[in-house]
Structure 1
Amino acid sequence: MIKKNYYTISRVISLLLFFPNLLLAEDFLLYDATVGQLPSEQPWLTYFTDGTAEQQVMTDGVWLQTSFTNRAGYSNYNVVTQALKNALYPSLDKGRGVVLQFGLQLSSENHDTADRAGFSVILLDSNHQGVELGFWANEIWAQTDNPLFTHGESVDFVTTGGMKSYLLCLTTDNYVLYEGNKQILTGPIRDYSSFSGYPDPYEIPSFLFLGDNTTSAGAEIVLGSVLLQSDTQLNLAFPWSLFLPSFTAGIQQGNGSTR
């Protein structure tokens, strides 16, 4: 659960006055970047690599470096055996609202095709519907599902230059991505379950991945704290981004670090 000092009392009261359904939401601190551990040393996330990727604990998260010859990242499942790491991980329902917060510093990224990224976030609900977002140094974009895994809607956005706080929301029909309290990208919910390959996580219910899932790209990143909220029941038509500073206070991370 979120530590009490992540929020001020006044901010919580302000948020709940406008969104009383948040009382029903469940909070899961999937990775606490402040305690000097790797994500896999905490209860919620596993570490996957099929090569010689490097990871190291930093003062504000975990440093991860991948290349074209390997894939690596963090997931709530073992992506090979498809075993859930923690049985208490919630079943996600996009119709009831899903919110993923994460801190990310992207130091460098390279790719050899316009349809791949060195760092990606995959967030799927219990019916394996959601979105996969790719992060480049100057752009964030979505993978399409028809045709499968091609460059979809995007936003020109500088992802380098220090730790940034992102918030990814799933609703019945759409996803919305915020950086800080600013909406930067939105698009339709996707279903990637027609994919056939190894490993194949796209039919796993309530699947989460943060990292490099391709041998066509590589990146150097620092991943900050990761927080999941399920059953938020937020109506994204309302300008609730006005209250995001209270909602995202738990993962703000200093100025970042480089290696």
Structure 2
Amino acid sequence: MKKALAVLTVGFTLLMGANSANAVPLYDGVSKPNQTPDQQGWQYQENAFKSPAPTATSTSEGTVLNTGNSTNQAGYFKVSPVLLNRSTGYSISFSVKISSETHLNNNRAGFSLIVISDGVFGETQPYGLELGFWQNSVWAQNVGFTQGEKVTFNVQKTMNNYVLYVKDNQYQLFINGSTFPILQGELRQYTGFIPPPGYPNPYTTSNLIFFGDNTASATANVTIKSVSASPASNVNLTTGYGN
């Protein structure tokens, strides 16, 4: 365990250096206050089925996204200008505060992140990851949209800084400058999803990033402070927890 942790610490230090040098801001709600992500190149979509309807409010701390009734859906989509190449590696950094979250289904979350890697020739669809955020945990969506690997962590009412690192077919999630991942596992191909009429399939769109509420059985009130993407060529993190 100590040996694996030492290797991981060195690798993450290199990754942080790569991030600081190569990070491309995708949303900045602080140095550019009073702007929502759609004012900085993101696409906002919502389905307001019941009152209260979703709201997106710009503040000096970031964008407050409140999806209102649990049947509603709302969030932000963007095709990353940074190629999300899982062979060379990449990272997505984001700062989010979960003020509240409720769900009617244990396989759904009121706030989710979807990151889909660049497609590789011969793949039926690109590999990616969906993470669900509850008030007391973060977890990965399995293929088939059931709850996968999970970590208990109180994310409520605190602005947390996350880094999602992807390399080859693996991911690791770090929080608040930690050198040890709070969550890790394999990427997925989310097959079988049929989007509503008129909507593209996010799980088959290469280099896609989504933040928001994508389910009709949960709701959340969150503050999105910042999002950035970084290539991380030639950086390797240990994924094993061996002795």
TM-score range, shorter chain: 0.7 to 0.9
Query: Are the aligned partners of 2:151 and 2:182 in contact in 1 as well (CA < 8 Å)?
Result: yes
Q: Which moved more, 1:25-34 or 1:173-182?
A: 25-34
The 3 A distance-change label for structure 1 pair 237 and 55 is: same
Q: Deviation string for 1:102-125 (max 9, x for gaps)?
A: 111001000011100000000111
Amino acid at match of 1:193: T
Instruction: Tell me what 1:76 maps to.
Output: 78
Residue identity opposite 2:211 in structure 1: L
- CA positional deviation for 1:201: 1.2
Looking at structure 2, the residues matched to 118 and 132 of structure 1 have their Cα atoms a distance apart, in angstroms, of: 13
- Between the aligned partners of 2:219 and 2:187, the Cα distance in structure 1 is 26
Instruction: Show the counterpart of 1:222.
Output: 223
> Superposition RMSD on alpha carbons, in Å?
2.5
Aligned residue number for residue 167 of structure 2 = 171
Question: Would the aligned equivalents of 2:129 and 2:140 in 1 still touch at CA under 8 Å?
Answer: yes
Aligned partner letter, 1:65: N
1:129 maps to 127
Give the Cα separation in 2 of the matches to 1:107 and 1:20: 28
User: C-alpha displacement at 1:231, in angstroms?
Assistant: 4.1
CA deviation map 1:199-233 (0-9, x unaligned): 42111111110110001100000001111112443
Structure-2 residue corresponding to 1:50: 47
Q: Does 1:188 align with 2:189?
A: no
Local SS of the residue matching 1:31: strand
Q: SS of the residue aligned with 2:98? A: strand
Q: Which runs of 5+ in 2 are unaligned?
A: 1-9, 120-125
CA distance in 2, matches of 1:45, 1:27: 17
Deviation at 1:20, TM superposition (A): 11
Identity %: 33
**Equivalent residue letter for 1:178:** F
CA distance in 1, matches of 2:165, 2:118: 15
Q: Which amino acid aligns with 2:115?
A: L
* Separation (CA, whole Å) in 1 of partners of 2:26 and 2:97: 18
Q: TM-score, normalised by structure 2?
A: 0.80
Secondary structure at 1:95 match in 2? coil
Instruction: Give the alignment partner of residue 158 of structure 2, picking from 153, 156, 162.
Output: 162
Question: How many Å separate the matches in 2 of 1:216 and 1:60?
Answer: 28
Q: Deviations over 1:170-210 (max 9, x none)?
A: 11121100111222100111111332232421111111101
Q: Secondary structure at the match of 1:193?
A: coil
Structure-to-structure mapping, 1:8-27, within 5 angstroms: 18=14, 22=18, 26-27=22-23
- Counterpart of 2:113 in 1: which secondary structure? strand
- Residue equivalent to 1:105: 97
Q: CA deviation at 1:149?
A: 0.6
Structure 1, unmatched stretches of 5+, are 1-13, 78-87, 239-259
**Residues 20 and 227 (structure 1 numbering): CA distance in 2 closer, same or farther, change over 3 Å?**
closer
Query: Does the 8 Å contact 1:138/1:156 carry over to 2?
Result: yes
Match of 2:145 in 1: 149
Cα 1:18–1:205 change in 2 (3 A) is closer
Letter in structure 2 aligned against 1:113: N
The structure-2 alpha-carbon separation of the partners of 1:58 and 1:71, relative to structure 1 and needing over 3 Å to count, comes to same
Report the alpha carbon displacement of residue 18 of structure 1 after superposing the two structures with TM: 4.9
State how far apart, in whole Å, the 2-side matches of 1:56 and 1:163 are. Answer: 17
